[in-house]
Structure 1
Amino acid sequence: MLPIDIDAVKGFLDKDEGAALYEYALKASILGPCMEIGSYCGKSTVYLGSACQRAQTLLFAVDHHRGSEEHQLGEAYHDPALYDIEAQRMDSLREFRRTLARAHLEDTVVPIVAPSDLVARHWNTPLGLVFIDGGHSMEAALTDYRCWAPHVQRGGWLAIHDVFPNPEDGGRPPYEIWTLAQASGLFEALPLIKTLGLLRRL
């Protein structure tokens, strides 16, 4: 299914979650291109992009590539290999591009290097699937949800990563936007696949 060894790609996506993303991106591609909010080094991009490539559509991958809160210097998920010493900032773009090249997805994935709210200001293309896995602060998660959920076509899919119903298991913002989507009346949720929430646009 995948063109490279997914274990060799930096990231935090479980294989069962990745397989579900592949499956639903393949279905959603009938409706339109797919969108990923938060690419990091490209693990989820490989799953989504491989499905889009098979369906002969595109995956837009939005990330500022400066890392989320937890990736910064001194934080729990900081990776020194992704730290740009000269700029004194995180920079995952080079590793992301290497992943795309190794996976032969450069003709399918369109990287957009910018904050998601900036991109959303002028976005007009209806989407078959939107996958939200950007910053996990409440502000970042709400912004991604409010900016991108409206672009999911009817019959399409909204996917949210790191949904933890039990607050002892992980951060709450992805769970909060998952519940907001259901309360909106616009989305119907499927059972969670580990921490991946999938919702169908009604």
Structure 2
Amino acid sequence: MAHHLRGSSGTAARPAPEVLASFEAATGFMPVDEGVAVYAAAVEAATRTGLPLLEIGSYCGRSTILLAAAAREAGTVALTVDHHRGSEEQQPSWEYHDSTLVDPEVGRMDTLPRFRRTLHAAGLEDHVIALVGRSPQVAAVWGAPVGLVFIDGGHTDEHATADYEGWVPHLAAGGLLLIHDVFPDPADGGQAPYRVWLRALAEGFTEVSVTGSLRVLRRSGG
């Protein structure tokens, strides 16, 4: 199921071929159709609000490429929040662990070097501000509005709820909330993002597009 945001021309914005190629070449898990939807939402939010676009959970920068490209087009910036130590499912012995991302000196995951190389290769470093830290700590000291919040960090209820509660207060009226890995059927995946999606709807957000497991919602007003 997929329906997409529409721009002033009546068609959804799509990333340039070189941006899409950089996205596909980057380490990560997001499918192309969901990536295209992220880009369309980012362009719409940046154009509508003129505010920065914020991503929680950047991993190696695959989806960051799309936010950065949209920010570049709109004359704003992408903000990324990640401690770069990997989420729970990326730790050793878990399904999504990548041993090449372990810092041999400290013995822990460190995706920041790969993240920076990804943005460098895409020519987008100047359009990203990387906030390296845990989402609730960064949110607690953040003091400016953003035009988009993309929740794609830890997938436990604790982490997903903290991301929602920490960053939604900073989302401008009319801004977009993106939630990744929303699976209504427990057989398809974890339920924490799904519960955050239900909460957002209950708290007045309006769903504007669905692509795979990606949900795009708009905050009222603006």
TM-score, length-scaled by structure 2:
0.88
Distance 1:6 1:27 in 2: 19
Distance 1:198 1:191 in 2: 5
How many angstroms does 1:5 deviate by?
3.1
Contact 2:209 2:217 in 1 (8 A): no
Contact 2:67 2:78 in 1 (8 A): yes
Distance 1:20 1:6 in 2: 13
Superposition RMSD in Å: 1.0
How many angstroms does 1:192 deviate by?
2.0
Give yes or no for the alignment of 1:193 onto 2:211: yes
Q: For residues 159-170 of structure 1, what are the structure 2 equivalents within 5 Å?
A: 159-170=178-189
Match in the other structure for 2:169: 150
Distance 2:185 2:210 in 1: 13
Distance 1:115 1:73 in 2: 20
Match in the other structure for 1:27: 44
Match in the other structure for 2:27: 10
Distance 1:77 1:190 in 2: 30
CA-to-partner distance for each residue in 1:66-92, whole Å, 9 max, x for gaps? Answer: 000000011110001101122111000
Match in the other structure for 2:70: 51
Distance 2:166 2:103 in 1: 29
Give yes or no for the alignment of 1:93 onto 2:120: no
Q: Structure 1 unaligned runs (5+)?
A: none
Amino acid at match of 1:73: P
Match in the other structure for 2:154: 135
Amino-acid identity (%)? 50
Contact 2:23 2:63 in 1 (8 A): no
Contact 2:86 2:111 in 1 (8 A): yes
Structure 1 segments (4+ residues) deviating >4 Å: none
Q: Structure 2 unaligned runs (5+)?
A: 1-15
Match in the other structure for 2:82: 63
